Amino acid sequence: MFKLVKDISSLSHDIIDKYIENKNLAIDCTLGNGYDSDFLSENFNKVIAFDIQEMAITNYKNKNKDNVYLIQDSHDKLNEYVKESADCIIYNLGFLPGGNKEITTMKDSTMNSIIQALDLLNEGGIILIAIYSGHNEGAREKTCILEFAENLPKNKYGAMKFEYVNRNNNPPMLLCIEKK
Ligand SMILES: C[S@@+](CC[C@H](N)C(=O)[O-])C[C@H]1O[C@@H](n2cnc3c(N)ncnc32)[C@H](O)[C@@H]1O
């Protein structure tokens, strides 16, 4: 294995670890199997995690993590549920590995959520978005999100993508948006 060119989830965790100074609140917008929430739970005072699938929420509830608050609803309702600002907001888009591939994140709700996330983010905070373009909806999400990120005001946000260049079959990509 490589030290730097690893899977994008591990890379996103390294970035959070090194570059987010205040680790009070993190929001996991796509709980899934809980890999990201586990990491956030160990590193932040409080985590709020969203998923539309009951199975994801129930499985995570059984872990009894004191500082993780679970919400079974769509992440495009961030503003309805979250009333405090966050230091880190993470998305792992697509469908649950090993689950129903029909239940996937969708470009419109993903975009709505990201727009709300930008407002909720503290200065110095980072949004990390793992994008999987190997399926149709994922390809649409990628186009939309990148176009949006390219047009973010440069004086307020830094946006950077991490992409594999020598892998085949639409490898995943990590997009990071940092608020100044
Ligand atoms: C790729 S998985 C996430 C993997 C997860 N981060 C992990 O560590 O296992 C994507 C998840 O997003 C969820 N999802 C899809 N649309 C959603 C939405 N609108 N709001 C919240 N979660 C959604 C799916 O149910 C699925 O569990």
- 36-40, 94-98, 153-157, 169-173: the lowest-pLDDT one: 94-98
Residue 97 clears pLDDT 90, i.e. is over it: no
In the predicted structure, residue 99 carries a pLDDT above the cut 90: no
pLDDT in tens, 110-130: 999 999 999 999 999 999 999
Average pLDDT over the chain, rounded to whole? 97
pLDDT score for 1: 83
Backbone φ and ψ of 53, nearest 5°:
-95, 125
Residue whose entry in the numeric block shows the structure tokens 């709700």: 109
Instruction: Determine the distance separating the centroid of ligand 1 and the alpha carbon of 155, expressed in angstroms.
Output: 31
pLDDT above 90 for 107: yes
Phi-psi region of 49 (alpha: psi -120 to 50; beta: other; left: phi over 0): beta
CA dihedral 4, 141, 132, 40 (to 10 degrees): 60
Q: Does residue 50 have a pLDDT over 90?
A: yes
Q: Within a domain: residue 2?
A: no
List, chain by chain if needed, residues with CB within 6 Å of any ligand 1 atom: 29-30, 32-36, 50-53, 56, 74-75, 92, 94, 96, 103-105, 109
Inside any domain, residue 76? yes
The whole-angstrom separation of Cα 118 and Cα 91 is 13
Q: Is the pLDDT of residue 78 over 90?
A: yes
User: To test the ligand 1 pocket, which listed residue (30, 68, 89, 107) has its Cβ within 8 A of the most ligand atoms?
Assistant: 30
State in Å: Cα 172 to ligand 1 middle: 15
Query: Which residue type sits at 105?
Result: T
CA distance 34 to 41: 10
Evaluate if residue 98 carries a pLDDT over 90: no
Nearest residue CA, atom 23 of ligand 1? 51
Strand pairing class (157-163; 46-50)? unpaired
Over pLDDT 90: what percentage of the chain? 96
**Confidence at 179, pLDDT banded by 50, 70, 90:** very high
The whole-angstrom separation of Cα 46 and Cα 69 is 8
Is the residue at 170 inside a domain? yes
Q: Which atom of ligand 1 is nearest to the CA of 130?
A: 1
Average pLDDT value for residue range 24-49: 98
**CATH number of residue 148's parent domain:** 3.40.50.150
* Domains: count for the chain: 1
Nearest ligand 1 atom, CA 132 = 1
Residue range(s) defining the domain that contains residue 164: 8-179
Average pLDDT over residues 69-83: 98
CA-nearest residue for atom 17, ligand 1, is 105
Q: Could you tell me if residue 1 is inside a domain?
A: no
pLDDT tens-place string over residues 148-169: 999 999 999 999 999 999 999 9
Q: What spacing in Å lies between the alpha carbon of 178 and ligand 1's midpoint?
A: 22
Residue 3 placed within a domain: no
